[in-house]
Amino acid sequence: MPIKIPSDLPATKILEHENIFVMNEERASHQDIRPLEIAILNLMPKKVETETQLLRLLGNTPIHVNIDLIQMASHISKNTSAEHLLKFYKTFDDIKDNRYDGLIITGAPVEHMPFEQVDYWSELCQIMHWSLTHVYSTFHICWGAQAGLYYHYGIQKHTLPDKMFGIFEHDVLQPQHPLLRGFNEEYLCPHSRHTAIDEQAVMQCPDLQILTRSPIAGINLVASTNGKHFFATGHHEYDRNTLGDEFQRDYSKGLEIKLPYNYYPGDDCRKTPKFNWRAHANLLFTNWLNFVVYQDTPYDLSSLS
């Protein structure tokens, strides 16, 4: 089934070229089904890149999905044009009376700062509080996962001695969990972060369950026991070249940056990286939409409370 997005969104042509089933708004209006309503709170600076990555995964599922792109009203984006944001994005005030089957909260390049010093922290807390009564299931990514764990469970983050940067192997600890249905016992996922969550605090929290973990990168996927919140410390949505682009960006600025771990064949940055996490990334988001959201969300979203 398709994902419904505006026909002139930059991601549309990219996804159509990749044979991802997208549907324009006119055609979608004639579909006699109740699609899933998904909101994406995009905190990343390169919003077009991030929205394309997430829409690619959401559009590669068998479920009809409607998307609302959300930006923070309390923050001015320096890397995405005001025209793009005005045309395709809504603010919390625009959607606060809506109800959604799912919400995705992305990462953000603010991890060196205490949560309370982030300029949009108050607004983000307002959205996370709102999600408890207006969203069936929320998926938090990278810094968004750290922020969610801190807001909902008081779990702190800490600075790493070196950036966790590369493609890391993870072990599946809860193979029967719906989010991991069809997963291999081991899988790969990109990480790009300077901070990590307090793993002891996660393990000691009775309301949280650790689903997967890497011997090097630590905890990756965490679920709340009530199935309402999921936290991913890695970036399953990353494209083949995202880590390479980050490396080249920092290297060209003269910043101290190591090659991404297990990324370039033979650690040769002239070689094309293998896109060897894509299958599990698609499976993860398919499982979230199907087995976590679609199978359990109420038909009438007004019953959420």
236 is an active site residue = no
The tokens 């990324």 sit on which residue? 263
Catalytic residue of the set 170, 189, 237, 280: 237
Decide if 36 contacts 65 (C-beta within 8 A). yes
Choose, from 64, 152, 235, 280, the residue flagged as catalytic: 235
140: annotated active-site residue: no
Give buried/exposed letters for 259-272 (b at 16+ CB in 10 A, else e). bbbbbbeeeeeeee
Predicted model pTM: 0.89
The single residue of 142, 177, 189, 191 carrying the catalytic annotation is 142
How far, in Å, CA of 289 to CA of 249, rounded?
34
Mean pLDDT comparison of 5-14, 67-76, 131-140, highest-scoring range: 131-140
**Of 29-38, 144-153, 273-282, the least confident:** 29-38
User: Is 235 a residue of the active site?
Assistant: yes
Rounded to the nearest 5 percent, the helix, strand and coil shares of the chain are 35, 25, 40
**What distance in Å separates the CA atoms of residue 287 and residue 87, rounded to the nearest whole number?**
31
Residue of 62 and 201 predicted with greater confidence: 201
> What pLDDT shows up at residue 47?
93
User: Does position 29 have pLDDT exceeding 70, yes or no?
Assistant: no
Q: pLDDT at position 7, please?
A: 72
3-state secondary structure of 120: coil
